[in-house]
A and B are shown apart, each in its own frame.
Chain A
């Protein structure tokens, strides 16, 4: 019943295609709730103006802009935020938005791979990755890199789609995911397959506890997670100690 999407569609290409309509699709798919998830995520991150933040897979800037705003509300002097993404199209969208908002001077945009960051060890206070890690081929490598670039005591935070344990809700969620989302993709972005790929990658991603184990394996301590919206999304945190 489920059509298996072609494996050859690399992550880079998928996001190249969806970059333009990424924000619109996010709103359509989650009925706007993704904004609340992201707001909560950044509130949990609680970045202080002095913190050095790295946002990975954050091409269009959703998380980075929120991090900046949070810091700005505390003090007008804020540290620059580094945004890293594998896809230049996504980065371009983010840069344009930052320019339009007049805040681009606070960000450093870099093209890069989460599995192999071109950044020095022990640099950042906070590492965030929102809706990006499920697209990484070797999640363990991305986690190791996160560990490497964080300062001792630094915080790792991941916002990602996860498992809905409630059987009734998960059935509804499945139907919505597989039947509605790719169609929306076709109507809004003109791309059925990319969104089918996205939905499948969500199902393949490890569940909350399994992912928490992976984070601990990478060396992080005090690993914990928080479910949002019954597990549709989860926030995982860990500290480099």
Chain B
């Protein structure tokens, strides 16, 4: 049910941001007591976290489906290629809330919220690597995660500042390394 309120809040984010106003409007939409806002100890930041997680879940579904649909004798996708696609796909999912996402990102980096946000992000990177075909358990595990995290982070920040629609350009250049 908490999920339902957060989902409903997304409708209001464009007009009211990642805030308790959006939460309250969602609560009203669902005809619940206003007292239920007490569930959201981190306030509007919870909407941002929820949004972030739901996009991560969507990406995982896509990657899992792609894996299911792959022909057994099809050639292996080069890892760099896979990573580029995954990151690009994931970042493009944020387009609907593009205008407000930089606010959302700032909110989830707040010290109170950051631990949850970091955990979600780490899971995302792990998932991407898993589907990329990485089965390593040695020290490379850490360096690979750090490198993808860094690439993702830089690309996202670049994207948030980029006013044009041509995201493909910088997505390509950064992940070819």
Which residues on A are within 8 Å of B, measured CB to CB? 46-48, 50-51, 125-126, 150-155, 221-222, 237, 239-241
Cβ A153 vs Cβ B2 within 8 A: no
Once the chains bind, are B38 and A46 in contact (CB under 8 Å)? yes
**Complex: chain B residue closest to A150, CB-CB:** B33
The interface size of chain B toward A, counting residues with CB under 8 Å, comes to 12
Main SS class of interface, A: strand
Contacts of B33 in A (CB 8 A): 51, 125, 150-155, 240
Main secondary structure of the interface of B (DSSP, over half): helix
- Interface positions, chain B 30-89, Cβ under 8 Å from A, are 30-36, 38-39
B-chain residues with CB within 8 Å of residue A50 when the two chains form the complex: 34
Interface centre among B30, B35, B38 (most CB of A within 10 A): B35
In the assembled complex, how far is the CB of residue A63 from the closest CB belonging to chain B, in whole angstroms? Answer: 16
B positions within 8 Å CB-CB of A:
1-2, 27, 30-36, 38-39
A83 to chain B, nearest CB (A): 18
Name the residue on B nearest A153 (C-beta): B32
Task: Say yes or no: A241 contacts B35, CB within 8 Å.
Answer: no
Residues in B with CB closer than 8 Å to A237 are 38
- Closest beta carbon of chain A to B38's beta carbon, Å: 5
Q: Which residue of B lies closest to A224 (CB)?
A: B41
Other-chain contact of A125, B2, B31, B34 (Cβ < 8 Å)? B34
Q: Decide: A154 and B35 in contact? CB cutoff 8 A.
A: yes
What are 23 A-B interface contacts by the 8 Å CB criterion?
Answer: A46-B38, A50-B34, A51-B35, A125-B34, A125-B35, A151-B32, A152-B33, A153-B27, A153-B32, A153-B35, A154-B33, A154-B35, A154-B36, A155-B33, A155-B36, A222-B39, A239-B35, A239-B38, A239-B39, A240-B33, A241-B1, A241-B32, A241-B36
Given the complex, which residues of B lie within 8 Å of A155, measured CB to CB? Answer: 33, 35-36, 38
Most chain B CB within 10 A, of A237, A239, A240, is at A239
Q: How far is the CB of B22 from the nearest CB of chain A, in Å? A: 16
Q: Which residues does chain B contribute within 8 Å of A221, judged by CB atoms?
A: 1-2
Q: How far is the CA of A31 from the CA of B23 in the complex (A)?
A: 40
CB nearest neighbor in B for A51? B35
Given contacts A155-B38, A241-B32, 5 further A-B contacts (CB under 8 A): A48-B34, A51-B33, A125-B33, A126-B35, A152-B31
Known interface pairs A153-B32, A153-B33, A155-B33; A241-B38 also in contact (CB < 8 Å): no
CB neighbours (8 Å) of B31 from chain A are: 152
Give Cα A240 to B35, complex, Å: 10
Nearest Cβ in chain A — how far from B62, in angstroms? 30
Q: Give the distance in Å from the alpha carbon of A237 to the alpha carbon of B35 in the complex.
A: 12
Provide the bound-state CA to CA distance between A155 and B34, in Å: 9
**Assembly CA distance A152 to B1 (angstroms):** 11
The distance in angstroms between the C-alpha atoms of A237 and B38, with both chains bound, is 9
State how many angstroms separate the Cβ of A124 from the closest Cβ of chain B: 8
| A51 contact from B30, B32, B34, B39, Cβ within 8 A | B34
Bound complex: CA A239 to CA B36 (Å): 7
Report Cα–Cα, A221/B35, bound state, in Å.
13
